[in-house]
Structure 1
């Protein structure tokens, strides 16, 4: 019986799918299960997650789903603080798993830091309302990037040589963790991050974002900017169109963060035909059946007739927005090194 994985363990191992002569997809059903299992398992071993301890976290996406699934396995109460616009399919699934989902008020969008700041404030209140609470803190817990050593090991065992890793950036865990471990053996391995406009992660001013799953209003402590060789930003319609291409051309049914990463990785692989490129594809597309995979919805958004750009516009400064897809040579520098203009940081504007 020991040879069989439990329901959540089975979600950890990605499928490696060939997408081109020198391009492979690291394809997950639910990538956030990796840090969720790792963080909670360590908390149980360390005595931080006792039998009556409540698991509480701020999340608007799949990390919350992974925690809810683990809550079932561990028999722990799970409280998730999320946005008022949380996907309805995800909300129903979380509720069916027994998680308590709290949504911050819509008016929170107007405060500094937006929904993310409001969610963190509510999480702090929850800590005072229960005798024992454990917060995984995916944005700052070093066990998040640390957990991705298993992905790096799988890539090394499978390919031996990995020249470039492309992936979407949110908490910083998957890209920073995977690439850091790879570079302990392959120091020249390149890292290409994928973000969206109006996200603070790589120097844009915070603003409204159409693309779900990409972009942040607050800077996560786990994001090590010096990992990245280059960064790409794309608009929502670009990610949506690329997501549909990934499905139509490779039968991979993924979400729009995966589509955006695939688009960037395809361009990267074509530009470097002698290098082996892998792209992180975080989760499947079931939450987006009524949006990205619905032609009528796309038409109402004005996306149907748009054609994907052939490549990104290379910009001189990260904060420049020129067209639907831009790229910047970050060159493994810190945020301060890149963004400093005289005595002022772009993020302070």
Structure 2
């Protein structure tokens, strides 16, 4: 491992003029066929906020640490990222006057690496996943090394920091200010931050609100076995404490082929689109709207399409990974429990458990094929 150059404290007080660029994003009505016609749903377009959705959490975590004296003026911030939190922290670092060191991995897209460096962040990349916990565990191990050799460095720990969900209280307030009623909220789940931050205020406003979590096939968050995942920014190989399992009424695991199909349909007919998380929540939101005609359904599109031009929107990439070889599922396969079967495509479960609280010694889930397009 090469030794990185020392990090120098920032001598600036930050750039508070950036703060008005955060949040206050538009709410779009989405009626694209996904893949079938549906009554429509609302999508908060977080790609139109400076720093994207996770800038809200980044500002909350750094501001909270500064108030408590955990983050000294000008001290460096070190965090693990698959990309989107890195952009948010780059924004918060500039706004508050902190250099940012981001620990990524070799699967981080070259365009994202370039963008993060352009925003002033320093990157450390791990070159192989850990035997247990995959890329995320490998990044955390490197992060601890960086912390040990960097004076006064602060680790926000986005996976477990309660200031992460607190950053989305403003997003909840914006939804309440725009919607007269809400029946169903659909949330992508990675660190668990934005779902945990939204559920409390929205359920106080609408007590009968149904909350659907959207995870990635191969993610361990809701009790499925951890597997290598093509989709980034959605799901996890570890168990973030910010995930409020008890808040969800059901969970859907979405495969890469379904997410790609939804992203491309959005782009062709609604103009607004995004990456893996956006495609996954759009698919499930359209399904939820069609399953309960008359229900008001809302979701959050975390980012835009630009990061994914070489993956989701690249025909060669999709062919190489078998994402366009067969028709994606048009509705979810339902399983009675997260351990009843291992999903490999769009799958729904109305039993939501915290896997860390589940009984040990259970047999591993049998593998089942993804449902076909005609299901």
Match of 1:27 in 2: 45
Aligned residue runs from structure 1 range 63-78, under 5 A: 63-78=85-100
2:351 equivalent to 1:330: yes
Match of 1:141 in 2: 161
SS for the counterpart of 2:78 is strand
Tell whether the 8 Å contact from 1:225 to 1:335 is kept in structure 2 after alignment.
no
- Spell out structure 1 runs of 4+ moving beyond 6 A: 346-349
Structure 1 residues 272, 208: closer, same or farther in 2, change over 3 A?
A: same
Tell whether the 8 Å contact from 2:87 to 2:116 is kept in structure 1 after alignment.
yes
Match of 2:4 in 1: none
Match of 2:203 in 1: 183
Structure 1 residues 146, 157: closer, same or farther in 2, change over 3 A?
A: same
Structure 1 residues 81, 323: closer, same or farther in 2, change over 3 A?
A: closer
Instruction: List per-residue Cα deviations over 1:263-301 (Å, max 9, x = no partner).
Output: 000000111112110011100111111121122332333
Say what the alpha-carbon RMSD is for the aligned residues.
Answer: 2.1
Tell whether the 8 Å contact from 1:155 to 1:162 is kept in structure 2 after alignment.
no
2:305 equivalent to 1:285: yes
Q: CA deviation at 1:9?
A: 4.1
Structure 1 residues 23, 115: closer, same or farther in 2, change over 3 A?
A: same
Tell whether the 8 Å contact from 1:226 to 1:335 is kept in structure 2 after alignment.
no
Structure 1 residues 9, 46: closer, same or farther in 2, change over 3 A?
A: farther
SS for the counterpart of 1:200 is coil
Moved more, 260-269 or 127-136: 127-136
Unmatched segments (≥5 aa) in structure 2: 1-15, 32-38, 367-375
Tell whether the 8 Å contact from 2:212 to 2:251 is kept in structure 1 after alignment.
yes
Instruction: List per-residue Cα deviations over 1:25-69 (Å, max 9, x = no partner).
Output: 111111101101111122233333222311111111210111112
Instruction: List per-residue Cα deviations over 1:140-181 (Å, max 9, x = no partner).
Output: 110111121111111111113211110210000111210122
Tell whether the 8 Å contact from 1:22 to 1:274 is kept in structure 2 after alignment.
no
Structure 1 residues 93, 346: closer, same or farther in 2, change over 3 A?
A: farther
Match of 2:76 in 1: 54
Q: CA deviation at 1:347?
A: 8.2
Which structure: greater helix fraction?
1
Q: Quick one: which of 209, 217, 220 aligns to 2:237? A: 217
Unmatched segments (≥5 aa) in structure 1: none
Structure 1 residues 226, 290: closer, same or farther in 2, change over 3 A?
A: same
Q: CA deviation at 1:335?
A: 4.1
Instruction: Name the CA distance, whole Å, in 2 between partners of 1:165 and 1:329.
Output: 15
Instruction: Name the CA distance, whole Å, in 1 between partners of 2:364 and 2:144.
Output: 25
Match of 2:279 in 1: 259
Q: Quick one: which of 361, 366, 373 aligns to 1:344? A: 361
Q: TM-score, normalised by structure 2?
A: 0.85
Q: CA deviation at 1:122?
A: 1.9
Instruction: Name the CA distance, whole Å, in 1 between partners of 2:167 and 2:364.
Output: 30
Tell whether the 8 Å contact from 2:182 to 2:298 is kept in structure 1 after alignment.
yes
Match of 1:230 in 2: 250
Q: Quick one: which of 318, 323, 329 aligns to 1:298? A: 318
Q: TM-score, normalised by structure 1?
A: 0.91
Tell whether the 8 Å contact from 1:8 to 1:33 is kept in structure 2 after alignment.
no
Instruction: Name the CA distance, whole Å, in 2 between partners of 1:129 and 1:305.
Output: 48
Structure 1 residues 140, 110: closer, same or farther in 2, change over 3 A?
A: closer
SS for the counterpart of 1:193 is strand
Instruction: Name the CA distance, whole Å, in 2 between partners of 1:253 and 1:7.
Output: 25
Match of 1:272 in 2: 292
Instruction: Name the CA distance, whole Å, in 1 between partners of 2:155 and 2:63.
Output: 13
SS for the counterpart of 2:218 is coil
Instruction: Name the CA distance, whole Å, in 2 between partners of 1:346 and 1:96.
Output: 48
Q: Quick one: which of 181, 193, 199 aligns to 2:213? A: 193
Instruction: Name the CA distance, whole Å, in 2 between partners of 1:203 and 1:209.
Output: 15
Instruction: Name the CA distance, whole Å, in 1 between partners of 2:237 and 2:26.
Output: 31
Instruction: Name the CA distance, whole Å, in 1 between partners of 2:222 and 2:363.
Output: 10
Instruction: Name the CA distance, whole Å, in 1 between partners of 2:333 and 2:174.
Output: 33
